[in-house]
Amino acid sequence: MLKMVEHEMNQHAKTLIACMDELQNHIHMACVLTTDTLAKGGKILIFGNGGSAADAQHIAAELTGRYKKNRRALPAIALSVDTSALTAIGNDFGFEEIFSRQVEALANKGDLLIGISTSGNSKNVINALKMTKNLGCRSISLSGKGGGTMSEISDVNIVIPSNDTPRIQEMHILIGHIICQSVDNVY
C-alpha cells in the first residue's frame, strides 16, 4: 500500500513539473482574461461533466464566496448545479445541449466561459464554447489528452500534458486556484 501511495504522489509531481514547464504563459493569459472580465463587469460561467462539474462548482464558489481573503462577492455560475434546467434541457433538447442552452440564456457580451473536459472533446462543453464568439464572450478551456476540439475553439486552452484523468483533474483544480489567487490579488 505504501508503494502505491508513493507512486501516486510521484505521478502527481511529474505532471506538475511538466505543467510548470509548458503552461505558465497559458495560465497567465487565463488569469488576465478572468480579472479583466470581472473588472469590466462581466461574469464567469463555468461548466463540465462529472469531476469537471465538481471543479466548476468549486471554482464558482471560490469567486462568489471567497478564496483566501474577504472581498466582495464576484459573479460566477457553475452551469452544472441547476438540476431542473439540466434535466429539462437534457430531456427536451438532448444531453449535448445542457450547457449551450444555459449559455444562450445567461451569457452577455463581455462574459467569460470556462469549459472543463479532461479529453477536450465533451460534446456538451464544446457546444457551449462554440457560442462564445456569437455572444461576444471570451473562453478558457481546461483540458488534457492533447486538448481535443477545445484547442480549436477556445481563446485559451490549458492542455495538461497527460493522458491520466486523475492527474489532469488535479492540475485543473490547481489552475482554478491560481486563477482565484489572481482575482484575490486584484480585489
String of DSSP letters for 48-110: ESTHHHHHHHHHHHHHHS-SSS------EEETTS-HHHHHHHHHHH-GGGHHHHHHHHH--TT
pLDDT of residue 167: 96
From the candidate CATH numbers 3.40.50.261, 3.30.1520.10, 3.40.50.300, 3.40.50.10490, the one assigned to the domain spanning 2-186: 3.40.50.10490
Cell 469531476 appears where? 51
What single letter denotes the amino acid at residue 60? A
C-alpha cell at 183: 482575482
Give per-residue pLDDT as tens, 128-139: 999 998 999 999
User: Distance between CA atoms of 18 and 137, rounded to whole angstroms?
Assistant: 30
Give per-residue pLDDT as tens, 81-98: 999 999 999 999 999 999
DSSP secondary-structure letter at 111? -
Cβ pair 158, 140 in contact under 8 A: yes
pLDDT at 148 over 90: yes
Cut 0.75: pTM above it: yes
Cell 440564456 appears where? 105
Give per-residue pLDDT as tens, 34-62: 999 999 999 999 999 999 999 999 999 99
Question: Once rounded to an integer, what is the mean pLDDT over residues 170-176?
Answer: 97
pLDDT of residue 127: 98
Q: Return the CA Rg of the chain.
A: 16
pLDDT of residue 58: 98
Torsion of CA 145, 143, 156, 24, to 10 degrees: -80
pLDDT of residue 86: 97
